[in-house]
Structure 1
Amino acid sequence: MGALVLAAVLALGACGGSGAGGGAGPVRLTWYVYNESSGAFAKAAADCSAGSNGRYTIGVNVLPNDSDGQRQQLVRRLAAEDSSMDILALDVTWTAEFAEAGWAMPFPAAQARTLTDGMLPAAVETGTWEDQLYAVPLNTNAQLLWYRKDLVPQPPRTWDEMLTAARRLAEEGKPHYVEVQGAQYEGYTVLFNSLVASAGGQILNDDGTEVELGAPAERAVEAIRALADSPAADPSWSNQREDDNRLAFETGSAAFQLNYPFIYPSARQNNPELAEQIGWTQWPTLVPGQPSHSTIGGYNLAVGAHSRHQAEAADAIACITGRDNQIRNAIDGGLPPTLEDLYTDQRFIDGGYPFAAAIYTALQNASVRPQTPAYQSVSLQIAHTLSPPSSASTGRLSQLRGAIADALESKGLVP
């Protein structure tokens, strides 16, 4: 039914309905999105406004940088039926929840095909729920293992090799920390999910209704504890998020960093000398000889269910997710594009995205977070039960299994 409603709205918009008060001027759309540090999102909003031929302008309402804070603000406004919620930047894990709650409008099938033409199937899947597209991929994401080439001549392939290399560097009195997310928030859940997947398991079954967390989860917890008990652990690990890891690496205290590619343009700007020494490889696996499975991330754009300008919002989303904006997001902000052919576009690679092939490989092997409308509750239980990293243990997995089973009954709609 929702797709039919949006289809009707789009048809009316195409017939010239202004939605702004009888042709008094361009519709003002509001895009709710986090404060992307390079300014690429703000430039996309300005360029799409200018290119709309007076149909709309896009204002940016800045959300917190952490996904938990973003979701909280969005949910509260949507629950209040805020009509300013035109374009919503959704973390890839929120699609099911926002669709089930009726907060995002599904796109009609024909328009969905047009909007996602040429995009990575895995990215499109993150914006899809029950075979309907609710959110158009803005960017995808996957972590790599970034390392100092001047300290690490041969990058590690496994978690154990990484800790061994860090221990050797510590003994030599050189920078040796492994920077990775350890604060009690979504990023720590992502770490656990990547480790479980890289050990050959998953947190929930395929249809998201039952808890798994078998032997691979035990290996994942052991890996967290091994890092916590190693000289490789940053003393601030239990408080660190992605940007804390970036900063520590840029200032020279670390040899390794498990993080997203936004760290590369940042290092080029803030520490060009160190940037010349940055190497990259796949996320370390827990099973020698098998690929790792870092967790797919990214953001998708949805039309708010209470927006008065849904047709214009859908058109603006088509522009914001267009090729030129994806290239700028990637080069300036490090955000991996969702258009598949860019990963073999030599001009794009030479223009500032030299790790494109590594990101593409990571995306091909990527794992997904548990797909359930109750995801937020599941994530909170994981981050809470296994925090701080120094206290993570296989003994806590029984508690975690029960907590996740309870979370699956909550439907995840409480902010």
Structure 2
Amino acid sequence: MAVAAAVAAPMLAGCSTGYEQGVLNIYAPADGFDYIKQFAQTCTEESGGRYKLQANVLPKSADDQRLQLARRLAGNDHTLDLMGMDVVWTAEFANAGWLVPVPDDTAAEIEKTNLGGPVATAMWQRPDDAAKRMYAMPIWTNTQLLWYRPDLMKDTLGSRRAPATWDEMLSDTQAIKKAGGPSWIMVQAKQYEGLMVWFNSLLASAGGSVLDPNDASKVTLSDTPEHRAATLKALEVMKAVATAPGHDPSITQSDEGTARLGMETGKAAFEINWPFVWASARTNGATGDVAFLQDVLSPYKTLLTDEDNPPTDAQLAPINAKMRKHFDFALYPGVFPGKTAKSTPGGLNVAVASTSRQPELAFEAAKCMTSEKAQKVYAISGGTPPTIASIYDDKDFKLAYPMGDVIRTQLESEHSAPRPASPQYQAISTLVTATLAPVGAWDPAQMVDKLTEQVQKAIDGEGIIP
């Protein structure tokens, strides 16, 4: 934080320190901003004149978002009332004294109505807290699924069933390859946050964790034989995927976009990715850019590509059903047969800034912005999965999200693996991904100790500027 403050010093002149009573400012990321702005106006109208909520856009890059917020907070900008925060920032911002804790009654209601995975990303225990408490309010979430080609599996393996584990997926891929089919498994493995997400999901699925969930100063990658075995297994899976016969030759540079393209161009039978790939495959399949979907979707080309008059979710429902016979989704694969797989959630939380001179009013606005009504807009219009459990049973939501039940399952506590909660998370992620890259070019047994050493360095603040 001292570094952030130092960097901020020359910039503080650009941050206003005044405020206007009744006017609240929310700063939100560029992705999804239009819907934040839209619902800010709704909240303003429904407040009965108690407040006016103004939406301000943050940069597209998460690092740039974090830096801009840090500058305003370090500069004590009283016009900053609410902020949309990446789910991994809670501990850092709370420890810096930049977040107002969510009132107990509001926190209790959120825990009652929201899915456990997103809620966990909003919790933290500062040194002066008696226990973990809520420092932010979930507004939307996300989770990665397994995407696969059931028609290809039926033709080559005699079954449409999705693999339940990574080892099973590797075996299926080799069988498909032997039959002359595609052999790539698409993941996110270049040196960036996507690699941290992949490692964290595998590690949690194997029964391990980067840090002790009850003691963020304790590294648990190799502190017990059981934890070492879990870390080793996660690394063995990563190496196996990165070095399998016929693997993606550019896997060390792969991200969400290249994973999507690998599947759409027919080079892969399996893909780990976020739900956005569904709409992409549907549209690109209609235009003929996804060969294995062309025959299914070409009759709907006009409907699916009319930007001025896009199809309704009801119109898309029968198309989705046909599409699933050729491109489908399943739960995130596990590491061990019979052991619950865990996936790393993404998403956004909303927090009240400690710089706000109107915190009670800000929490009133935050409750409106994270309400069921608001989250339904973000989900159906904006494509961001909700954190409120009841929305998953809503008929409009079900039409928009054919994969909604799988998403909900993976966001429940027993299936969700939030990234390690720590004020040093940025340093942890930077060092972990730098150590793991290039994926597969290392011995898993030796990598266990290397990762342990690097995470300890991050916790101790050695050699890294996040």
Structure 2 counterparts to residues 94-133 of structure 1, below 5 A: 94-114=89-109, 118-130=113-125, 131-133=132-134
Distance in 2, Cα, partners of 1:412 & 1:95: 23
Offset at residue 181 of structure 1 (A)? 0.9
Distance in 1, Cα, partners of 2:24 & 2:391: 32
Aligned CA distance change for structure 1 residues 77 and 154 (closer, same or farther; 3 Å)? same
Distance in 2, Cα, partners of 1:324 & 1:269: 28
Answer yes or no: is the 8 Å Cα contact 1:146–1:280 preserved in 2: yes
Distance in 2, Cα, partners of 1:362 & 1:115: 18
Distance in 2, Cα, partners of 1:50 & 1:252: 49
Distance in 1, Cα, partners of 2:237 & 2:89: 28
1:357-406 alpha-carbon deviations (Å, 9 max, x no partner): 21222223112322222222211111111111132432122122111112
AA matched with 1:144? L
Answer yes or no: is the 8 Å Cα contact 1:265–1:331 preserved in 2: no
Distance in 2, Cα, partners of 1:21 & 1:75: 22
Answer yes or no: is the 8 Å Cα contact 1:101–1:413 preserved in 2: no
SS in 1 for 2:29: strand
Answer yes or no: is the 8 Å Cα contact 2:142–2:384 preserved in 1: yes
Structure 2 counterparts to residues 161-240 of structure 1, below 5 A: 161-206=168-213, 207-213=215-221, 214-231=228-245, 233-240=247-254
Tell me the TM-score normalised to structure 1 length.
Answer: 0.84
* Alignment partner, residue 408 of structure 2: 360
Using the TM superposition, name which of 252-261 and 42-51 deviates more.
Answer: 42-51
Answer yes or no: is the 8 Å Cα contact 2:117–2:418 preserved in 1: no
Aligned with residue 278 of structure 1, among 324, 327, 333: 327
Answer yes or no: is the 8 Å Cα contact 2:124–2:421 preserved in 1: no
SS in 2 for 1:93: coil
Aligned with residue 58 of structure 2, among 59, 62, 77: 62
Aligned with residue 268 of structure 1, among 282, 287, 302: 282
SS in 1 for 2:354: coil
AA matched with 1:402? E
Quote the sequence identity (%).
38
SS in 2 for 1:210: strand
Answer yes or no: is the 8 Å Cα contact 2:263–2:271 preserved in 1: yes
Using the TM superposition, name which of 260-269 and 201-210 deviates more.
Answer: 260-269
Distance in 2, Cα, partners of 1:232 & 1:91: 36
1:127-185 alpha-carbon deviations (Å, 9 max, x no partner): 12223321100123222111122223221111112122223333444344222111212
Aligned CA distance change for structure 1 residues 168 and 310 (closer, same or farther; 3 Å)? same
1:15-40 alpha-carbon deviations (Å, 9 max, x no partner): xxxx9546xxx625232224239x54
Aligned with residue 304 of structure 1, among 353, 363, 366: 353
1:235-287 alpha-carbon deviations (Å, 9 max, x no partner): 33222222332344344433222122233234334435476132111111111
Offset at residue 51 of structure 1 (A)? 3.7
Aligned CA distance change for structure 1 residues 413 and 313 (closer, same or farther; 3 Å)? farther
Distance in 2, Cα, partners of 1:245 & 1:268: 16
What is the count of residue pairs matched by the alignment?
A: 391
Answer yes or no: is the 8 Å Cα contact 1:264–1:334 preserved in 2: no
Aligned CA distance change for structure 1 residues 381 and 20 (closer, same or farther; 3 Å)? closer
Offset at residue 73 of structure 1 (A)? 3.5
Offset at residue 221 of structure 1 (A)? 1.0
AA matched with 1:143? Q
AA matched with 1:138? I
AA matched with 1:201? G
| 1:149 counterpart = 2:150 | yes
SS in 1 for 2:212: coil
Higher Rg of the two aligned structures: 2
Aligned with residue 376 of structure 1, among 426, 440, 464: 426
Aligned CA distance change for structure 1 residues 232 and 319 (closer, same or farther; 3 Å)? farther
Answer yes or no: is the 8 Å Cα contact 2:87–2:347 preserved in 1: yes
Using the TM superposition, name which of 218-227 and 146-155 deviates more.
Answer: 146-155
Using the TM superposition, name which of 269-278 and 53-62 deviates more.
Answer: 269-278
AA matched with 1:410? G
Aligned with residue 387 of structure 2, among 333, 338, 342: 338
Offset at residue 217 of structure 1 (A)? 0.8
Distance in 1, Cα, partners of 2:84 & 2:246: 35
1:200-248 alpha-carbon deviations (Å, 9 max, x no partner): 2222223222222211111111111111112463333222222332344
Give the structure with the higher percent helix: 2
* Alignment partner, residue 440 of structure 2: 390
Distance in 2, Cα, partners of 1:78 & 1:20: 14
Aligned CA distance change for structure 1 residues 404 and 337 (closer, same or farther; 3 Å)? same
AA matched with 2:457? D
SS in 2 for 1:403: helix
Offset at residue 72 of structure 1 (A)? 3.5
Using the TM superposition, name which of 366-375 and 302-311 deviates more.
Answer: 302-311
Answer yes or no: is the 8 Å Cα contact 2:176–2:183 preserved in 1: yes
| 1:31 counterpart = 2:38 | no
1:24-66 alpha-carbon deviations (Å, 9 max, x no partner): xx625232224239x543433343344444531322313224x
Distance in 2, Cα, partners of 1:381 & 1:81: 30
AA matched with 1:165? D
Q: What root-mean-square deviation, in Å, do the aligned CA atoms of Structure 1 and Structure 2 show?
A: 2.7
